[in-house]
Amino acid sequence: MAKKDYYEVLGLDRSASSEEIRKAYRQLARKYHPDKNAGDKTAEERFKEMQEAYDTLSDENKRAAYDQFGHNAFDPSSMGGAQGAHAFHGNFSDIFENVFGDIFGDRQGGGGRAQQRGADLRFAMTLDLEKVVFGTETTLRIPTWVSCKECQGSGAAKGTKPVTCSDCGGMGQVRMQRGLFTVQQTCPTCRGQGQKITDPCSRCRGQGRVQEEKVLSVKIPAGVDNGDRIRLQGEGEAGLNGAPPGDLYVEIHVKPHPLFDRQGQDLHCQMPIHFTMAALGGELEIPTLQGKVKLKIPPETQSGKIFRLRGKGVQAMRGQSVGDLLCHIAVETPVNLSREQKELLEQFQTALEADKKNHSPQERSWFERVRAFFEGH
């Protein structure tokens, strides 16, 4: 089968610069690399074509030969073949290492064991409304991985230390020849660590960390809200091989309150009152999170009226401002009336109708709007 044009394989024209060639190859390599397309034969063949094209076009001498002779430049039986084949075998490994080090990250150990930052942890904490409004301090018990004190996180028994892996020379990677390709992979002996522990710590069994229950004292600031997260830096899982630990995120969940509903910095409550108090006025003792207060209900208070109590809400987590408590009035209609009570209400209704004054302004206004609506249609 005839080989595809190298420029066509990389999606370039023949005037492409070296940087454009490199950029095109990097983009395609991310897409078709075997590690990301396991078992996909089409992607594997596409990757081989790209690698061959890039190997040629990224080298000035081989590109010049290809531009002049095409694929024959690397055929030993044709003119120019010897030079092309020599250049190909001489530089392939270096190109593979440099390009893939950029794309997938250089994972060589450099003579030391590979470090891995500890995992972040999340802890859901459920609190009463009073505690998030005023702030509190609580104790957490969290099962997590902590650095082994016996070996100081090295994983090696006391008095010993990890030794350099003889198979990879401490690099954590080994190279294997696959025909024309040199494949670099994680060292199977040290698993990419670059070092081996010949005498592991008896407590952590060479892991460098152990699982324990960590006890933490956490201060919950006043004003936190449902869903807020508090970050405790360095209180997550211990890292591997001396790497820094992760963080602990405490996620706040607030229990529903039987009286108050929080909306931002304000608290809201529904306050039912008898219709006689709504008509005549009076005084109520109502609860707040700061204690009891007296609220004066003026005469002729309508259902839905809102009374605002300044400074009885929630303090802002940042700043000194404090929200309010908003009391929503709900006028209750009496139920379970006796015959005598019903008769008294009927007399009261008759007295209202005999009086020509407007005692129900909202009712009258509503009926007027209803009449206007029907007349308009």
What are the pLDDT digits (tens) for 214-250? 888 999 999 999 899 999 998 888 877 667 888 999 9
Least confident of 110-124, 184-198, 330-344: 110-124
Q: Please compute the mean of the pLDDT values over residues 359-365 and round it to a whole number.
A: 78
Q: Rounded CA gap, 350 and 249, in Å? A: 67
> If pLDDT is split at 50, 70 and 90, which confidence band does 368 have?
confident
- Chain centroid to CA 184: 33
Q: Please compute the mean of the pLDDT values over residues 184-208 and round it to a whole number.
A: 82
Can you tell me whether residue 121 is helix, strand or coil?
A: strand
A 10 A CB-CB count for 349 gives 10
Q: Rounded CA gap, 70 and 175, in Å? A: 31
Phi, psi for residue 319 in degrees, rounded to 5? 110, 180
Does position 370 have pLDDT exceeding 60, yes or no? yes
Does position 18 have pLDDT exceeding 90, yes or no? no
Q: Find the angle CA(85)-CA(91)-CA(92) to the nearest 5 degrees.
A: 85
Q: Rounded CA gap, 186 and 152, in Å? A: 26
List helix spans (H) across 70-108.
Answer: 81-104
145 is written with which tokens?
A: 């991985």
Angle between helices 41-57 and 60-69 (to 10 degrees): 100
CA dihedral 151, 152, 156, 160 (to 10 degrees): -90
Q: Rounded CA gap, 263 and 75, in Å? A: 77
Q: Rounded CA gap, 277 and 96, in Å? A: 87
11 is written with which tokens?
A: 């999606």
- Chain centroid to CA 282: 52
Q: Please compute the mean of the pLDDT values over residues 158-177 and round it to a whole number.
A: 80
Q: Rounded CA gap, 277 and 300, in Å? A: 8
* pTM, 2 dp: 0.54
Q: Is 248 exposed, middle or buried (0-12, 13-18, 19+ CB in 10 A)?
A: buried
> If pLDDT is split at 50, 70 and 90, which confidence band does 254 have?
very high
Angle between helices 41-57 and 81-104 (to 10 degrees): 120
What are the pLDDT digits (tens) for 20-39? 888 888 888 888 877 777 77
Its sign, for the CA torsion 57, 60, 62, 63, is positive
More confident residue, 65 or 20: 20
pLDDT of the residue at 325 = 96
Its sign, for the CA torsion 139, 142, 146, 149, is positive
Q: Rounded CA gap, 109 and 318, in Å? A: 45
Does position 92 have pLDDT exceeding 60, yes or no? no
Domains annotated on the chain, with CATH: 6-104 (1.10.287.110), 121-254 (2.10.230.10), 257-333 (2.60.260.20), 338-377 (no CATH)
pLDDT of the residue at 45 = 85
- Chain centroid to CA 190: 33
- In the DSSP assignment, the letter for residue 322 is B
Tally the C-alpha atoms within 13 A of residue 340's C-alpha that lie toward its C-beta.
0
pLDDT of the residue at 85 = 37
pLDDT of the residue at 304 = 92
Q: Rounded CA gap, 325 and 285, in Å? A: 14
Angle between helices 81-104 and 18-32 (to 10 degrees): 60
Q: How far is CA 130 from CA 147, 222, 249, in A?
A: 37, 9, 22
pLDDT of the residue at 109 = 40
Q: Best-predicted range by mean pLDDT among 41-45, 175-179, 206-210, 245-249?
A: 245-249
Q: How far is CA 68 from CA 17, 61, 65, in A?
A: 17, 11, 5
pLDDT of the residue at 292 = 92
Q: Please compute the mean of the pLDDT values over residues 320-336 and round it to a whole number.
A: 92
